[in-house]
Amino acid sequence: LNSNLNKMVKFGLRLSQNRAPEYPPEAYMDYDKLKEIIHELKKKKLARVDSTTREVSLTAPPPTNAAGRQLTADDSPVTEEDFYSTIDKELAKVESFTLQQVTELRKQIDNVENEVKGWVVTSTATAATSTVHKMNESQIESSRESADTVAKSFLILEKYVNINFMGFHKILKKHDKNSPQHQCKQFYINRMHQQAWVRGDYSDVVVRLSNIYSALRDDHAAEENKDGGQQSFLRSTTKYWVRTEDVSKVKYAILKHLPVFLQKTSTGESDSQLTNSVYFDNDQLELYHGRLDKTPGAIAYRLRWYGAGNPKLVFCERKTHRDTWTGEASVKERFTVDESEVKQVLNDKYPIDEKREEMQSKKGATADEVDDWETLVREMIQVVQVKQLVPTMRTQYMRTAFQIPFDATVRISLDTNLCMISERGYDTLGGAKWFRDPEKPLADNEITRFPHAVLEVKLELGGANAEPPQWVTDLQNSGMLYEVHKFSKFI
């Protein structure tokens, strides 16, 4: 008991030490008050009513304890209802304060956006009179400081949410341990996950800050390089794990230098996009073991789509492993089909000749491009038949991408809410059904939730950019990233 009390004291001390000086102490959960109620409840040594009794008498007196008092009577003024009502009030207080701070943050972002927008409009109007004018350094620095203040305030708020979230977890666990006959942790954990201060998605703040920083940097899309083979680049990809509590800090460190790259199918309301990838394999898990053993030429076969809801546009992708010592690089190839055509691909009935003609006549593809496309399609259709591939496993996550369009010097993706879902155990209906019905619930053994975010940094160095930018090196050495060599969601 003493060791458990010491743990509670330690967290109470941690809570007090981690209070943000910008916030009043009373904005935080009253951990000490809840702890005192638990201690009072622990002192009770009441006899229990016989829970096996199924009948009562309206004329017989109720059961009593050794002192002759009714079992419902209580010498202590503290009851379980006191604990419930107190934790309800504390939850409501934390939620209210969080929403109040978010509202204030959005007002501050409005002010910074209007400030930057005003200068951009002035610059445009001046440019129309053939006089070149840009935001001067003092204006840029002033707006950057304002944006930094908003971002840091957001990180302080997230820390506030996390410390309170952990506090409720700990106090509920302690309550259930001391009052096993009145367990309530799971009930309140479920309630917290339904409240706005926990489940709220405030990533629109990230998108708006990204746009502000991009405007201050005066970002411009690079020219699309259609003959990239004419220049030699050193390409590298490094993957990292990121703790959930550090995700927002990592996003902030990146968006100060790179804009959030929103996909065309994204609504723009969030900085991330749902990504689903269904991996195919056979009963012997041949593809899985090939990738695991890094067999030269081993492939991964997947169907990917972006966005919530049922897929419309599907990417048929093949990843082929090559050993670097051979001088060859691993490669990812893909082609797109409408969801209604997936069954044709999986059953070797895809109208390749018809699609080939369409590419040449309507899309203006060159003969070489059409030939490469046809070779890939035929090979991917053939491997499904030869190896008897079926849907096996799906990865699902929310992806945030950071990149200046057509500039591959630094590209970063951050995947959160990663989970692996079993795609076995249902009738594929001859290829017509190639992913689980999202309306049907998953059993616990059919889904695995990865506890960390996955960050991927892609660098393309060469010419004037022979070394990675200093901010990338600083991020890699920040202590927020844990490098995982060649981490694979499939393996």
Residues recognised as catalytic: 489
Residues 284, 484: contact at Cβ < 8 Å? no
Distance (Å, rounded) from C-alpha 353 to C-alpha 358? Answer: 9
Distance (Å, rounded) from C-alpha 133 to C-alpha 183? Answer: 67
Dig out the tokens for 477 from the structure: 């050495």
Q: Residue 367 to residues 24, 189, 351, 356, 381: CA-CA distances in angstroms?
A: 69, 60, 18, 10, 21
b/e code 469-481 from CB counts within 10 Å (16+ = b) = eeebeebbeeebb
Q: Which residues contact 270 (CB under 8 A, 6 or more apart)?
A: 201, 203, 204, 207
C-alpha closest to that of 404 among 216, 270, 256, 259: 259
DSSP reduced 3-state for 396: strand
Residues 344, 350: contact at Cβ < 8 Å? yes
C-alpha closest to that of 98 among 24, 141, 13, 157: 157
Q: Which residues contact 249 (CB under 8 A, 6 or more apart)?
A: 155, 480
Residues 368, 359: contact at Cβ < 8 Å? no
Dig out the tokens for 489 from the structure: 């969601």
Please name the helix (run of DSSP H) or strand (run of DSSP E) that holds residue 443, with its range, or none: none
Residues 434, 304: contact at Cβ < 8 Å? no
Q: What is the DSSP-derived secondary structure letter of residue 327?
A: T
Distance (Å, rounded) from C-alpha 425 to C-alpha 442? Answer: 12
Distance (Å, rounded) from C-alpha 474 to C-alpha 458? Answer: 15
Q: How far from each other are the two terminal CA atoms of the chain, in whole angstroms? A: 43
